[in-house]
């Protein structure tokens, strides 16, 4: 057994050595080939491979277009696609430069590289009067060339130390190869993880330390504003610039062709409200990307730089070890004003379900104050959403016909970061797919497949009988929600002087939930004849209007029929003028409850456990005594309920 283990370990070791030899040979031969290949050929190869990458990997293409759409919403989609394709080509070009540059001769580097007048002047001043300098380098395609600086100013760097912080690779041979090739002109590579003391020593000895400004620094970075969104940015510049007289500059490479560059530099300075150099660097880079299209094309848009707060299990809570958004009011103000993170919610199709979702929907702005909240739903919900100011934007779904999904394509004005589905239908899932959301979230019920939803919360069997709002609460908590939902009604109800009772007689989605029309007429006559109320108002849909109008008992002058005559905002206004509202288990009753109005609700085939009124307003639930049929709720019980609330 020991012999077998020894043989297996030796075979694995031999395979590792063979793989390393092959990798060395491949990198050496391909790098040498790229170095001797004409520049124009390398550029064409990079464009070809970049286009292939753009079209072959849809997730990365979506990331590129989403990044550009968030950063430049004012530009057309044709511009964003063009810049995205160019950026992919530059990414390939960056890889080609990393492989080919070790084989470049000094003559070629001097011939193809130049210093701007401002940079040459600065380096001349530093050679005469040394002082500590920190160079902040953005992630452009030619960033590998930063180690060429000593070659372009040979009189400066023998006497002034220069170090470049980098992230070491796990592969030992590759790491050694990078050290050997990058340090050949005198630059000292310093590992980020344990090289901060060495970098500070260089600063104290009036040297120069350069590092690559990273907006994808994970938990080690600082959560701050970059192009209107929260990004985890490397905080090395603040650690390096602690010495009092340290000057901080932005150094970047302007691409003139493959391996043809001009180094440019700009002094960074803090605005009065800025507390850290990280914010200064991000602000400078944002201005550069917006003002210089050639630099914008050269930046690597393929990286998910804003993904720190995009984790599916935690995106509804802003959490980070070092959160400048929470600590700095100026960062907070900028982010909240721009609102570039996009959270879209597909609303339920029925009014009652929408009202039951309101306690969660109104918490979205508390959970993600940096996000623009967009609701997608039935056009009828627009007035109510505007009345309660629940969202920043509302997209109305088109009328259902055979061209429905084609019409949904017209809503693709933006790429949402998160798309929360409160529907359980295939239609809603297809809408999310068409709207190109990177992250979709939905409920996964037993024995129901949702092929087009990326992040599914599997509903446990013990949660199937929960109230719909509480079920959605568990769903939201799976996405990171920590806030407690409130049962406080959306509006405070002021009881009117006149006793007015509202009847919600219909039910759009389920006729079995309707209390018999004969019972409604008996109750109305009792309330009016015995002086329990002065007026009764009938509410319902246009379909209910025809039924109610044909009923002779409702021809009384003190009975006002508003069925089908109001939008949801008008319905809310009319309900607010009622002392008590009575209704079937339908959207109108749930709306009255959300408005804080005392409500009596009839439950027959449905259950108040799953679909009961949720808000803390006076209400009475009357359940059927006749095997789930609405006839099992007597007029006497209904009269008792309304009189109890009127008193």
Distance CA 194, CA 196 (A): 6
Question: Could you please report the per-residue DSSP string of 579-628?
Answer: SEEEEESSHHHHHHHHTT--EEEEESSS-HHHH---SSS-EEEEE-SSTT
**572 and 430 in one domain?**
no
Q: Is 227 left (phi over 0), alpha (psi -120 to 50) or beta?
A: left
Q: Does 276 score more than 90 pLDDT?
A: no
Q: Does 585 score more than 80 pLDDT?
A: yes
What pLDDT does 306 receive? Answer: 83
Q: For residue 467, what are its two tokens?
A: 């109230």
pLDDT band at 330 (very low <50, low <70, confident <90, very high): low
**pLDDT tens digit string along 80-113?**
999 999 999 999 999 899 888 888 988 999 899 9
**pLDDT tens digit string along 375-409?**
999 999 999 999 999 999 999 999 888 888 888 88
What pLDDT does 31 receive? Answer: 85
Distance CA 438, CA 13 (A): 41
Q: Are strands 535-539 and 229-233 parallel, antiparallel or unpaired?
A: unpaired
Q: For residue 219, what are its two tokens?
A: 């938990």
**211 and 71 in one domain?**
no
**264 and 159 in one domain?**
yes
**126 and 219 in one domain?**
yes
The whole model's pTM is what?
0.86
**126 and 98 in one domain?**
no
What pLDDT does 128 receive? Answer: 83
**pLDDT tens digit string along 110-154?**
899 999 989 888 888 888 888 888 888 888 888 888 888 888 887
pLDDT band at 490 (very low <50, low <70, confident <90, very high): very high
What pLDDT does 190 receive? Answer: 83
3-class DSSP state for residue 183? coil
What pLDDT does 288 receive? Answer: 92
Sign of the CA dihedral running 552, 553, 559, 560: negative
Please choose, from the candidates 112, 110, 120, 178, the residue with its C-alpha nearest in 3D space to the C-alpha of residue 144: 178
Residue 329 lies in a domain: no
Q: Does 552 score more than 60 pLDDT?
A: no
Give the side-chain half-sphere CA count within 13 A for 37: 21
Give the percent of the chain with pLDDT over 90.
34
User: Of 477, 511, 531, which residue sits at a domain end?
Assistant: 477
Mean of the per-residue pLDDT values of the chain = 86
**301 and 220 in one domain?**
yes
What pLDDT does 400 receive? Answer: 84
Distance CA 186, CA 176 (A): 16
Question: Do residues 644 and 618 make contact, with C-beta atoms less than 8 angstroms apart?
Answer: no
**131 and 256 in one domain?**
yes
Q: Does 537 score more than 60 pLDDT?
A: yes
CATH number for the domain that contains residue 376: 3.40.50.2000
Q: Whole domain around residue 570: which residue ranges?
A: 500-646
Question: Could you please report the per-residue DSSP string of 356-387?
Answer: HHHHHHTTHHHH-TTEEEEEEE-GGGHHHHHH
Q: For residues 235 and 94, which has the higher predicted lDDT (pLDDT)?
A: 94
Residue 365 lies in a domain: yes
Mean pLDDT comparison of 76-85, 312-321, 335-344, 563-572, highest-scoring range: 76-85
Q: Which residues pair with 264 in a beta bridge?
A: 252
User: Of 102, 133, 161, which residue sits at a domain end?
Assistant: 102
What pLDDT does 478 receive? Answer: 93
User: What 8-state DSSP symbol labels residue 530?
Assistant: T
User: Of 445, 477, 509, which residue sits at a domain end?
Assistant: 477
**pLDDT tens digit string along 170-212?**
777 777 777 788 888 888 888 877 778 888 888 888 888 888 8
Across residues 613-626, what is the average pLDDT?
90
Number of separate domains in the chain: 4
pLDDT band at 325 (very low <50, low <70, confident <90, very high): low
């Amino acid at each position: 057994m020991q012999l077998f283990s020894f043989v297996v370990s030796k075979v694995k070791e031999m395979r590792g050595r063979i793989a390393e030899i092959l990798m060395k040979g491949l990198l050496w031969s391909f790098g040498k080939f790229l170095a001797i290949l004409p520049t124009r050929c390398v550029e064409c190869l990079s464009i070809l491979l970049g286009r292939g990458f753009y079209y072959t990997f849809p997730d990365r293409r979506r990331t590129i277009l989403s990044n550009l759409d968030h950063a430049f919403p004012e530009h057309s989609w044709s511009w964003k696609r063009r810049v995205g394709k160019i950026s992919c080509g530059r990414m390939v070009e960056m890889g080609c430069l990393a492989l080919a540059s070790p084989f470049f001769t000094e003559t070629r580097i001097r011939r193809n590289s130049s210093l701007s007048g401002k940079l040459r002047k600065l380096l001349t001043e530093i050679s005469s009067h040394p002082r500590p300098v920190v160079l902040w380098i953005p992630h452009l395609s030619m960033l590998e060339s930063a180690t060429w600086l000593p070659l372009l100013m040979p009189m400066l760097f023998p006497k002034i130390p220069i170090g470049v912080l980098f992230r070491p690779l796990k592969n030992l041979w590759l790491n050694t190869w990078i050290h050997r090739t990058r340090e050949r002109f005198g630059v000292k590579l310093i590992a980020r993880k344990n090289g901060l003391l060495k970098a500070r020593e260089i600063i104290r000895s009036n040297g120069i330390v350069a590092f690559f400004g990273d907006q994808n620094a994970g938990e080690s970075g600082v959560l701050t504003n970059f192009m209107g969104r929260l990004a985890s940015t490397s905080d090395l510049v603040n650690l390096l610039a602690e010495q009092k007289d340290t000057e901080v500059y932005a150094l970047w490479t302007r691409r003139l062709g493959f391996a043809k560059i001009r180094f440019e530099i700009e002094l960074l300075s803090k605005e009065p409200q800025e507390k850290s150099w990280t914010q200064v660097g991000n602000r400078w880079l944002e201005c550069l990307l917006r003002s210089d299209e050639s630099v914008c094309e050269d930046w690597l848009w393929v990286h998910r730089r804003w993904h720190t707060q995009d984790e599916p299990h935690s995106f509804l809570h802003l959490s980070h070890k070092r959160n400048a958004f929470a600590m700095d009011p100026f960062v907070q103000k900028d982010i909240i004003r721009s609102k570039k993170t996009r959270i879209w919610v597909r609303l339920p199709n029925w009014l009652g379900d929408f009202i039951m979702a309101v306690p969660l929907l109104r918490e979205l702005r508390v959970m993600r104050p940096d996000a623009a909240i967009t609701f997608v739903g039935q056009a009828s919900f627009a007035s109510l959403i505007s009345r309660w100011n629940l969202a920043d934007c509302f997209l109305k779904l088109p009328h259902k016909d055979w061209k429905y999904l084609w019409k949904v394509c017209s809503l693709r004005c933006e790429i949402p970061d998160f798309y929360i589905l409160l529907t359980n239908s295939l239609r809603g899932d297809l809408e999310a797919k068409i709207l190109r959301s990177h992250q979709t979230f939905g409920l996964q019920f037993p024995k129901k497949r949702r092929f087009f939803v990326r992040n599914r919360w599997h509903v446990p069997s013990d949660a199937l009988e929960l109230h719909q709002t509480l079920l959605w609460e568990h769903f939201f908590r799976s996405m990171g929600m920590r806030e407690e939902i409130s049962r406080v009604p959306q509006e405070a109800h002021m009881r009117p002087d006149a006793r007015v009772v509202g009847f919600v007689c219909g039910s759009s989605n389920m006729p079995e939930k309707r209390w018999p029309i004969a019972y409604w007429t008996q109750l109305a006559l009792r309330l009016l004849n015995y002086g329990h109320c002065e007026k009764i108002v009938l509410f319902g849909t246009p379909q209910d209007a025809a039924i109610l109008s044909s009923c002779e008992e409702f021809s009384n002058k003190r009975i006002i029929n508003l069925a089908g005559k109001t939008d949801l905002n008008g319905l809310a206004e009319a309900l607010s003028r009622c002392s008590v509202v009575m209704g079937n288990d339908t959207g109108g009753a749930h709306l009255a409850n959300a408005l804080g109005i005392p409500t009596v609700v009839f439950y027959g085939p449905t259950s108040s456990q799953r679909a009961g009124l949720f808000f803390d307003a006076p209400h009475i639930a009357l359940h059927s005594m006749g095997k789930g049929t609405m006839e099992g709720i007597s007029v006497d019980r209904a009269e008792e309920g309304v009189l109890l609330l009127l008193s």
